[in-house]
Amino acid sequence: MRFNAAIFDLDGTIMDSGEGIVRSVGYALDKMGVKDYDERSNYRFIGPPLTDSFMEYYSMSEEEAARAVAYYRERYSVTGIYESHMYDSVRELLLKLKECGVKLYIGSSKPEKFVRMILEKQGILDLFDFVAGATFDESRNNKEQVLTYLFEQVKIDPNSAVMVGDRYHDIEGAHYMGIPCIAVLYGFGNETEFKEHGAEYIAADTDQIFKIITSEE
């Protein structure tokens, strides 16, 4: 097979989690006194670290962004985390890859506790050989840090591993680790973004993901 290990992003790749994230961002902005924001534009928050997004998109200081993240988690940990659903046929994809002997991992910039809660609720936590996520204190925050942690904890051969994600952060994180990336079109990114950041593969659906991972060179 082309790849023996597949590292999956969570939001926008396994889970359609847009509703919970966007509503929780809105809750945080309301608490911070931000007015007249466009809720649709807050889909930009899906993927990158929250602190960075609050600072970039709403010109917050680092201290303000930290408060906004705390407000976000106030809602997300209770309600937002469950305002999501698994994309069609992702479960089948994971099961087929396991049957083929592919090692499955999670590399997400969402706090690891939340990642595990979501995977467990969906009944797929046990399909993954290791779950790597961010820390609440942000000592491990961006995709590069998360993937570095994953590679430190698990012996993964970079020559036979691939990242699967839906945003340019996944592509950049994969390239930082010296592995290629399959960028998925059904998430929150787009083909222009993927090509600009050099995704090696672009998949429209889970069937294409499976073929890319399991096909011979």
Strands 15-16 vs 5-8: parallel, antiparallel or unpaired:
unpaired
- Residue indicated by tokens 């073929």: 211
Task: Say whether 5 sits in a helix, a strand or coil.
Answer: strand
According to DSSP H, which parts of 49-142 are helical? 50-58, 62-76, 90-99, 112-122
Q: Which position among 9, 11, 166, 170 bears the catalytic label?
A: 9
Active site residue 166: no
Instruction: Order the strands of the 5-8 sheet from edge to edge.
Output: 130-134, 103-111, 5-8, 161-165, 181-184, 201-203
Distance between CA atoms of residues 93 and 136, nearest Å:
30
Which residues are identified as catalytic? 9
